[in-house]
Structure 1
Amino acid sequence: MSPQTNNATAAGTWRLGDLTVNRVGFGAMRLTGTEPFDGGVPRDREQSIAVLRKAIDLGVNHIDTAAFYFSATRSANELINRALAPYPEDLVITTKVWPGRDSSGAWWWAGPGQLRGQVEENLRQLGRDHLDVVNLRVPPSRRNESIGDHFGALAELRDAGLIRHLGVSNVTSEQLAEARAIAPVVCVQNQFGLGAPSEDRELLRSCGELGLAFVPFFAIAGSGRAAGSAPGESEAVRVVAHAHDASPAQIRLAWTLRQGPHVLAIPGTGDPDHLAQNVAAGALRLSAEEMALLDAPRTAPA
């Protein structure tokens, strides 16, 4: 067995601007609780810290987080700080702004002038003097509207040295074009997975042509979203998983990475065994026939 089989280097690398990351990264949301935004059971603090350190040991050098990733007793950013500071030189931490949550957990959305406060909160929690990558996370209700004022405010913070690179999240192709006309964009973070509609696939392809990273979220969970995987699994995924002696989640990750060399995975977990499985998925190589099987339209049960 290759020494890279269970290491994040197995899937190769991509560049976020001038920062090189392994294509298998880590999403920090699930470090805070079983249902991070719905009062779920808090994760064991020491276990969450151990998972973060194990991720680094497995070659992960790209962590996705946010100041609004917190539960009643856990903050993802502060766990990252506690576990990993002083940070490895090659570690890239990506965060996101525009959504926020107050101390009760209620959601709010920042105006352009409030984005600096959100950026500074991420800096404080992470213990850093600048953020590697900040994604502007667009509200679902604004996906057909201009994002120019908000992205322009982030571009000013980039010029001020608080942010190294900018990305966008939950955007349309038109919003991506609008952002790129204002300042350089290094990544697009959108929901994407098996069964994604054609417009989402087209945006993924467009990012590859532009040299931008495409970073899917909920690639494993699918319709389960933040709550986790939806009940049931497609027969195609089960067949391919059996052929590789792998889990369905690993096949979904391998399929995601097969979408292009510019596609990065950020699976999240608070479980050390699941972490190892997620990283190992980067070494899976799906055949063209298996990809066709996974991409075939699903038929509704009779």
Structure 2
Amino acid sequence: MHTLVLGGDLPVHRLGFGAMRLPANDPAAAHALARRAADLGVTFFDTADSYDLGRNEELLAEALHPYPDGVVVATKAGQCHPGDEWIPLGRPEYLRQQAELSLRRLRVERIDLFQLHRVDPAVPLADQVGALRRLQDEGKVRHVGLSEVSAAQITEAERITPIVSVQNRYNLADRRSEDVLAHCERHGIAFLPWLPIAPSLRADSPVAEVARRLGVTPAQVALAWLLRRSEVMLPIPGTSSPQHLEENVDAVGVELSDEDFARLAAQEHVRL
């Protein structure tokens, strides 16, 4: 129950690591954190070309390459981050360029999972997914995923290439992607909830109350709920704290009672 298989051939631990918060200004700390995650059994690392202008990918490679057996590093392209804005950018030539740069920064010949970071409304989705399919055909990408998409967009994309993962925002307080999660369950697609731990959990929230009774942290309860919510769920909590990293990984051992799980599930919007 602690393993999920991506695309039928990539088994990964169901508690991944979102690398976005690796401290680019402290490479030694970033390397130590990534290595500690691997030591704790994390086998799925999520990054993107736009995180610190590619430096995030480099930090993972510096820390983990040559990658231990079973470690999967997934990256994304299709969104740029100039300053404070996040801007979708899905022109096929741009996606190809970014894939080539990611291959170089990650020090690999093939990216195990390459995800479209955002759908660019100015470019037909078929053209964006088609660019990823061509990279697959050339052996530069193993599997393709999507991020922040609707069920209809997944269906459209799958006419071009199999989609093995979907990365949408989802947590106890934000479940607007329930229909997308249901689609992923029906089709055996991994669902990667970004921001899996809702920020600013209040001390009087149901999550915090359950955590106090179990002797764990609210973040661990939130992650445990996600893991139990669906067998296709692959949370990717990110942190720059070694302590929080260890707590997050330990969430796989937190067992929620049927009553606690149902109580949290019944909260349409958990009070934060």
TM superposition score normalised by structure 2? 0.91
What does 1:223-262 correspond to in 2, within 5 Å? 229-230=199-200, 232=202, 235-262=205-232
Report deviation, 1:293: 1.6
1:99-120 C-alpha deviation (Å, 9 max, x unpaired): 1245x67655241221110101
Alignment of 1:213-228 (within 5 A): 213-220=190-197, 222=198
Which of 95, 99, 104 aligns to 1:124? It is 104
- In structure 2, which of residues 149, 155, 159 is the aligned counterpart of residue 181 of structure 1? 159
Corresponding position of 2:20: 29
Change (3 A) 1:300 1:185: closer
Distance 1:53 1:292 in 2: 36
Query: SS of the residue aligned with 1:286?
Result: coil
How many residues end up aligned between the 2 structures? Answer: 269
Question: Which amino acid is 1:28 matched to?
Answer: A
Aligned pair partner of 1:171 in 141, 149, 160:
149
The answer as to whether partners of 2:165 and 2:190 remain within 8 angstroms in 1 is: yes
SS in 2 for 1:293: helix
1:111 equivalent in alignment to 2:81? no
Q: Which gives a bigger RCO, structure 1 or 2 (Cα 8 Å, sep 6+)?
A: 1
Distance, in Å, in 2 between the alignment partners of 1:237 and 1:231 is 8
Q: 1:88 to 1:300 in 2, by over 3 A?
A: closer
How far off is 1:146 after superposition?
4.8
Secondary structure, in 3 states, of the residue corresponding to 2:193? coil
SS in 1 for 2:160: coil
Tell whether 2:259 aligns with 1:289.
Answer: yes
User: Gapped runs of 5+ residues in structure 2?
Assistant: none
Q: Determine helix, strand or coil for the equivalent of 1:168.
A: strand
2:137 matched to which residue of 1? 159
Question: Are 1:26 and 1:268, in contact at CA under 8 Å, matched by a contact in 2?
Answer: yes
Cα distance in 2 between the residues matched to 1:299 and 1:117:
41
**Residue 13 of structure 2 corresponds to residue 16 of structure 1:** no
CA contact (8 A) 2:167 2:193 kept: yes
Whether the 8 Å CA contact 1:49–1:80 is kept in 2: the answer is yes
Which residue of the partner structure matches residue 148 of structure 1? 126
Aligned to 1:290, the other structure's residue is in SS state helix
Q: Which amino acid counterpart does residue 80 of structure 1 have in structure 2?
A: L
**5+ unaligned residues in a row in structure 1: which ranges?**
1-10, 34-41, 223-228
Contact 2:201 2:218 in 1 (8 A): no
Identity of aligned residues (%): 39
Aligned to 2:250: 280
Please identify runs of 4+ aligned residues in structure 1 that moved more than 4 A: 104-108, 298-301
Partners of 2:157 and 2:143 in 1: how far apart? 13
SS at match of 1:166: strand
User: In 2, Cα distance between the equivalents of 1:258 and 1:136?
Assistant: 27
CA RMSD across the alignment: 2.3
Question: Deviations for 1:60-80, whole angstroms, at most 9, x for unmatched residues?
Answer: 110000121117xx9211111
Give how far 1:300 is off. Answer: 9.9
* Distance (Å, rounded) in 2 between the aligned partners of 1:100 and 1:117: 13
Cα distance, 1:291 vs structure 2: 1.2
Amino acid in structure 1 at the alignment position of 2:128: H
* Partners of 1:242 and 1:175 in 2: CA distance: 41
Describe the SS at the equivalent of 1:193.
coil
Shift of 1:130: 1.0
Cα distance change on mapping 1:248 and 1:153 into 2, 3 Å: same
